[in-house]
């Protein structure tokens, strides 16, 4: 790594969060913490509980993934990330007062709501602290599946047809079904607009399954999309960079063992086969890489993102599915696997992401 300063860079690595993806954040951050070079970085571990409490954690890394870190009071100190730019970091509760802990850069290893939706990014912007990943606007736009699809469409990037629903539609499934049949027909996928990582996603094949899917999706979000089902290989491309982003040299293919590539299949139970590189021809691979960068730019992404596609069976066409602005970093996650297949080590990837954050 090229040294940016003569001293160690202080990195606050934030994990957990008030999110349906709290558990996978703990898995991701464990891999990140195990691969950060402690010769170059002073690491401050900051955990956010499901109840929203911020704690400076100084205990063993291996206690994070199972959730045991919260039950180790000897390693926990209440803290907050101060929006006051004079503090430029954390405030740790000590005795009757607060102690300043300066931070050079933040790595928010937070997935889903309150992590990828611009919320934590807004706090970091107020604080004036550089951070890994996309900014406020890009995070919010990528998180909202409806907004993202509108921007993809405006940029001329092919994506599945969809309709957008609000809470009032929950009470009129027959009218929703009529819209679906007029727009693209069954089967369809019903998704919360802002839940992230397949949480609350269901397939609908008829009115009965549509009703159940709507109930599931609206339990996660007030806005829901119903999307045309696409038949094709599920493939993913990693993108890295700020003003001159680059796609990973190779793309990956996902083959779910279960019918739906859901949250458990992605992160928890290993019921997914990965092919790196994807089993596609060169033309389709290059089309995916090109569209991945175009989508990244269209939504104003910075730092990193994973862009997901369907590769159609004609061997040429592709359909963009979604962008994830803080993709999983677990030991089975596609983003680090693709970057490592493209020449990075895990540690060098983290170095690059931190440099991109500091460069702005």
Catalytic residues, by residue number, are 21, 197, 267, 306, 308, 322, 324, 328
Nearest to 228 by CA among 203, 264, 200, 258: 203
Question: To 5 degrees, how large is the angle CA 170–CA 189–CA 320?
Answer: 130
Question: To 5 degrees, how large is the angle CA 106–CA 52–CA 138?
Answer: 45
Question: Strand 41-48 relative to strand 9-16: parallel, antiparallel, unpaired?
Answer: parallel
Assign 3-class secondary structure to the chain: CCCCCCCCEEEEEEEECCCCCHHHHHHHHHHHHHHCCCCCEEEEEEEECCCCCEEEECCCHHHCCCCHHHHCHHHEEEEEECCCCCCCEEEEEECCEEEEEECCEEEECCCCCCCCCCHHHHHHHHHCCCECCCCHHHHHHHHCHHHHHHHHHHCCCCECCEEEEEHHHHHCHHHHHHHHHHHCCCCEEEEECCCCCCCCCEEECCHHHHHHHHHHHHCCCCEEEEEECCCCEEEEEEEEECCCCEECCCCEEEEECCCCCCHHHHHHCCCEEEECCCCCCHHHHHHHHHHHHHHHHHCCCCEEEEEEEEECCCCCCEEEEEEECCCCCCCCCHHHHHHHHCCCCHHHHHHHHHHHHHHC
CA distance 66 to 135: 30
């Amino acid at each position: 790594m090229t040294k940016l300063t003569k001293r160690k860079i202080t990195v606050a690595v934030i994990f957990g969060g008030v999110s349906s993806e709290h558990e996978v954040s703990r898995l991701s951050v464990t891999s990140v913490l195990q691969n950060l070079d402690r010769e170059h970085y002073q690491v401050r571990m900051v955990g956010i509980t499901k109840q929203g409490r911020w704690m400076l954690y100084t205990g063993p890394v291996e206690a994070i993934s199972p959730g045991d870190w919260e039950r180790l009071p000897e390693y926990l100190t209440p803290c907050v990330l101060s929006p006051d730019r004079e503090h430029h970091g954390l405030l740790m509760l000590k005795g009757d007062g607060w102690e300043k802990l300066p931070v050079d850069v933040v790595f928010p290893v937070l997935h889903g709501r309150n992590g990828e939706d611009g919320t934590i990014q807004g706090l970091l912007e107020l604080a004036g602290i550089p951070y890994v990943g996309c900014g406020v606007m890009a995070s919010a736009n990528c998180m909202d599946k409806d907004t993202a699809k509108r921007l993809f469409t405006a940029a001329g990037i092919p994506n599945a047809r969809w309709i957008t629903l609000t809470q009032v539609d929950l009470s009129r499934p027959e009218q929703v079904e009529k819209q679906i049949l007029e727009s693209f027909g069954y089967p369809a996928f019903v998704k919360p607009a802002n839940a992230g990582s397949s949480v609350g996603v269901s397939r609908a094949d008829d009115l009965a399954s549509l009703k159940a899917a709507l109930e599931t999706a609206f339990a996660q979000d007030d806005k829901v999309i119903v999307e045309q089902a696409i038949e094709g290989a599920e493939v993913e491309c990693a993108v890295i960079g700020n003003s001159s982003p680059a796609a990973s040299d190779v793309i990956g293919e996902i083959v779910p063992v279960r019918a739906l590539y859901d949250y458990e299949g992605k992160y928890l139970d290993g019921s997914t086969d990965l092919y790196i590189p994807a089993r596609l021809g060169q033309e389709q691979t290059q089309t995916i890489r090109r569209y991945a960068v175009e989508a990244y730019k269209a939504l104003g992404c910075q730092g990193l993102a994973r862009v997901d596609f369907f590769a159609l069976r004609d061997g040429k066409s592709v359909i963009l599915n979604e962008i994830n602005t803080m993709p999983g970093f677990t030991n089975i996650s596609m983003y680090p696997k693709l970057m490592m297949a493209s020449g990075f080590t895990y540690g060098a990837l983290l170095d690059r992401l931190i440099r991109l954050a500091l460069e702005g």
